[in-house]
Amino acid sequence: MTAANHVNRAIALFWGLLTAIVTTAFALMLTIMAIQVISRYALGIPVSWTDEAARYLFLSQIFLGSVLALRYQEHIRITVVTDLMGPRVRNFVASLADIICIVVLLMLAIGGWNMMERTSGILASTFRLSFSYIYLIQLISAWMMIGLLIGDLYRRIFIRLPAIQNDWSE
């Protein structure tokens, strides 16, 4: 097996693991929210930790799920205008959009880093977990999306291909 095959397998494993993490976070959030509703309204016994746990899981799945959506080109986009453009202009506009997204994600990463520093000593009230972990997930997700966008931008500019799905698994 060649080194390229090992790299492709490792990348495919990474994306599979990330998908499993996002799916598990979603399933856990649904379970915890069901516990919250049943315990509060059916049993009359509120469970205090469920609100914060659901919040952590929700934010985790949103940020990490955004990485997966970008990888598979599944983000919502309006293409009425770009569909009318020729391939060169469409490529230029897509490159410009990638650059704008990278700038916004850099601001999101910097904001995440700043908030990590500010909230490192603040703990959740029901289970003693620092709020900085929420912002760590934001920071990691932003850097992963920046990496994907730089790869798309590189392929579009230097290889002269339209933005394609990053399918490393094949």
pLDDT of residue 85: 83
Residue 122 confidence (pLDDT) above 90: no
Query: Which range is least confidently modeled, 24-28, 37-41, 107-111, 158-162?
Result: 158-162
Res. 107: pLDDT tops 60: yes
pTM: 0.83
* Residue range 132-140: mean pLDDT, rounded: 92
Q: Mean pLDDT throughout 134-154?
A: 94
* SS3 letters across 8-37: HHHHHHHHHHHHHHHHHHHHHHHHHHHHHH
The structural domains of the chain, with segments of one domain joined by +, span 3-158
Average pLDDT value for residue range 140-161: 89
Look at residue 164 in the predicted model and tell me its pLDDT: 47
Q: Rounded mean pLDDT of 43-63?
A: 90
Return the amino acid letter for 144: M
Work out the number of other CB atoms within 10 angstroms of the CB of residue 41: 9
Task: Give which of 140, 139, 160, 147 is closest to 98, Cα–Cα.
Answer: 147
122 and 152 Cβ atoms separated by less than 8 Å? no
The whole-number pLDDT of residue 169 equals 43
Sign of the Cα torsion 140, 144, 146, 147 reads positive
Residue 91's pLDDT band, with cuts at 50, 70 and 90, is: confident
Confidence of residue 12 (pLDDT cuts 50, 70, 90): very high
Residue with tokens 């703990």, as numbered in its chain: 123
How does residue 9 score in pLDDT terms, banded at 50, 70 and 90? very high
